[in-house]
């Protein structure tokens, strides 16, 4: 089977979309990106706030290179309170537009791993 660049790109976008990485919990996204970039270049660094910097040098001209700089977290929420009736009160992290939340699926992360909560379960 011959996989072309379009198929590879689609696969990578889907893999990245499936990773969970809200602010302060973006370790999985960083690990994925660093692993993938290191397949192409050894010049990959992550700073103390999660920015990834990768330099891709030209094989034909040592004076030419491409620098990729990426920040890896996404918008998310933090649970502020769980009511006795099970209602979960959340607060936004990042620039979440409230208008897109109705009927959305939310995925919670806890110290034991990921828990998927579907809108069908409410």
Low-confidence ranges of the chain (pLDDT < 70): 1-3, 112-122
Cβ(37)–Cβ(51) under 8 Å? no
Backbone angles phi, psi at 91, to 5 degrees: -125, 140
- Write down the pLDDT at residue 110: 73
Q: Which of 102, 48, 107 is nearest to 74 (CA)?
A: 107
> Using CA atoms, how far apart are residues 40 and 43, in angstroms rounded to an integer?
9
So what's the pLDDT on residue 1?
46
Q: What is the pLDDT of residue 101?
A: 76
Task: Give the span between the Cα atoms of 56 and 47, in whole angstroms.
Answer: 18
pLDDT at site 67: 92
The pLDDT score that the predictor gives to residue 74 is 80
14 phi-psi bin (left φ>0, alpha ψ -120 to 50, beta other)? alpha
Question: How much is the pLDDT for 121?
Answer: 44
The H or E element that residue 76 is part of is strand 76-82
- Phi then psi for residue 5, to 5 deg, are -60, -35
Of all helices (H) and strands (E), which one includes residue 110? strand 106-110
pLDDT on residue 61: 92
Q: What is the pTM of this model?
A: 0.70
Residue 120 β-bridge partners: none
């Amino acid at each position: 089977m011959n996989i072309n660049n379009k198929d590879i790109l689609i696969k990578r976008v889907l893999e990245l979309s499936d990773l969970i990485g809200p602010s302060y919990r973006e370790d999985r996204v960083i690990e994925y990106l660093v692993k993938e970039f290191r397949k192409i270049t050894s010049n990959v660094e992550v700073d103390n706030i999660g920015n990834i910097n990768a330099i891709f040098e030209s094989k034909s001209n040592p004076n030419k290179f491409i620098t990729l700089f990426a920040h890896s977290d996404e918008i998310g929420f933090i649970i502020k309170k769980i009511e006795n009736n099970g209602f979960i009160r959340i607060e936004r992290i990042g620039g979440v537009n409230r208008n897109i939340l109705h009927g959305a699926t939310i995925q919670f992360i806890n110290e034991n791993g990921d828990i998927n909560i579907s809108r069908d379960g409410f």
